[in-house]
A = this chain, B = another copy of it.
Amino acid sequence: MTRRIALALIHYPVRDRAGAVVTTAVTNLDVHDIARSAHTYGVGDLFIVHPIAAQRELVQRITTHWIDGSGARRIPDRKPAMEVVRIVSSLDEAVAGIGGGVELWTTSASSDGTLSFGAARERLQSDGPPVLLCFGTGWGLAPEVMNRAAAQLAPIASPRSDGYNHLSVRAAAAIILDRLLGV
């Protein structure tokens, strides 16, 4: 890949079932699974975005356990994956953490996204600014994040006739990384 790509897992602002903008709690396995998927596909940065200090500290404790603690001794393979995790309080802080000048891409299970996976893969092979690919927890990214995006990635289409596509964010992130960066 030519362009740098980073991921952001956003806990605020995201939508709840009713569409209201809320803050979600950290899910331990989100951090593990998405870090492991990111590192497997050669992505060097996974920003965990949370506005609440106690939740950021929880993520810090998790990553420290696997990078420097007893987890690192028990399962050494987890350490390089956990090292891609960067803990920030806002999306702006993630953008600044890459050095600014970032192209924001969003993901969604809805049909609003228009950037096909084929076109996205090509754009990553071309020259350009770093891409920050954003995933929403809860019921997806809030409109204020979607509206900032330079591109909205197409949804993962279901082959079912009823179009059911309720993937976990962990599964969706894995599939999207495979489609964009898989060999």
Contact = CB atoms under 8 A, between A and B. Distances in A.
A167 interface: yes
B175 A159 contact: no
B167 A174 contact: yes
Contacts of A173: 171
B81 A170 contact: no
A42 interface: yes
Given A17-B75, A29-B29, A40-B166, A159 B171 contact: no
A25 B22 CA distance: 33
Given A159-B182, A178-B178, A37 B81 contact: no
Nearest to A174: B171
Given A159-B183, A178-B156, A179-B178, A170 B168 contact: yes
B167 A170 contact: no
Nearest first, the 3 closest Cβ-Cβ pairs linking A and B are A171-B174, A33-B168, A175-B178
Interface of A: 1, 17, 29, 32-33, 36-37, 39-42, 75, 77-78, 80-81, 156-160, 164-168, 170-175, 178-179, 181-183
